[in-house]
Amino acid sequence: MPLPAPSVQDHWIETPRGRLFARSWTVDGDDGAAPVVLLHDSLGSVALWRDFPAVLAQATGRRVIAYDRLGFGQSDAHSRPIETDFIRTEAQRGFAAIREALAIDDFVILGHSVGGGMATWIASDFGETCHALITESAQAFVEDRTLQGIRDAERGFAEPGQIERLARYHGDKARWVLDSWVQSWLSPVFADWRLNGSEIRPACPALAIHGEADEFGSPVHAERIAALTSGPATVHIIAGCGHVPHREREAEVTALFAAFLAAI
């Protein structure tokens, strides 16, 4: 039986590069288990997680924290084009700032899409303080399916009214958000990017889930992430599911995450 609805608190965190927005969901009776920190996708934000953080908090009894990366959602605008090493550097920039400001010691990291790559770096960088790694629809390298999905989405956003839909979540940063996604992934400089086992080695328990019909990457990404870990790792492929399992199969995914976290 789920716990009562969690209380919600907003946070504003000052960093040298700009102010970040975060939101936390805390249930009554929280026993102090390591909170779950969420990392959004390439066009995402705190608001675009919708009700999933509250549902996850109720199902697990853990505090859930989500934040807008610099340039996204309610966080400050990014002052320049996104760097090609942005997946690597988020661990020691945005995430590290959130962790310090909110006094997070031990934690669970959960990343969706590009956030899954960032989460994998965080799990590796922060060692024993990361109790578990969860990736959802993550990319581990540049795949043809990923690039085709981005090209298709770019054409879709060229249709009248589509960029305005993105602006509902990012305001006047919407064009930067879209261009950063498209231009970074389609850049020839980015073509050889991958999560490299010689540099990254999470040691915590890991769960990598992926939709079988994900339009932005095949299930091999989940398998690659699991292979990077030195701790116990589980891959779960969801038949007939696309790129956003926590929205398309919310009950199934929530139960899966809750069972995984209950066992660690």
**Angle at alpha carbon of residue 53, lines to 90 and 116, rounded to 5°:** 35
Separation CA 22–CA 75 (nearest Å)? 8
Residue at 78 is within a domain: yes
Position 1 in a domain: no
pLDDT digits (tens, 9 = 90+) for 42-96: 999 999 999 999 999 999 999 999 999 999 999 999 988 888 999 999 999 999 9
Considering the domain boundaries, does residue 140 fall inside one?
A: yes
Q: Which residues pair with 233 in a beta bridge?
A: 206
Determine the structural domain holding residue 212 and report its residue range: 7-262
Of residues 197 and 6, the one with the higher pLDDT is 6
Look at residue 80 in the predicted model and tell me its pLDDT. Answer: 82
| CATH classification at residue 208 | 3.40.50.1820
Residue 143 domain flag: yes
Q: How confident is the model at residue 3 (pLDDT cuts 50, 70, 90)?
A: confident
Q: How many domains does the chain have?
A: 1
What's residue 2's pLDDT?
Answer: 60
- Asked whether residue 62 is domain-assigned, the answer is yes
Residue 80 is assigned to a structural domain of this protein: yes
Residue 2 included in any domain: no
pLDDT at 32: 85
Flag whether 163 is in a domain. Answer: yes
Phi, psi (5° rounding) for residue 28? -60, 140
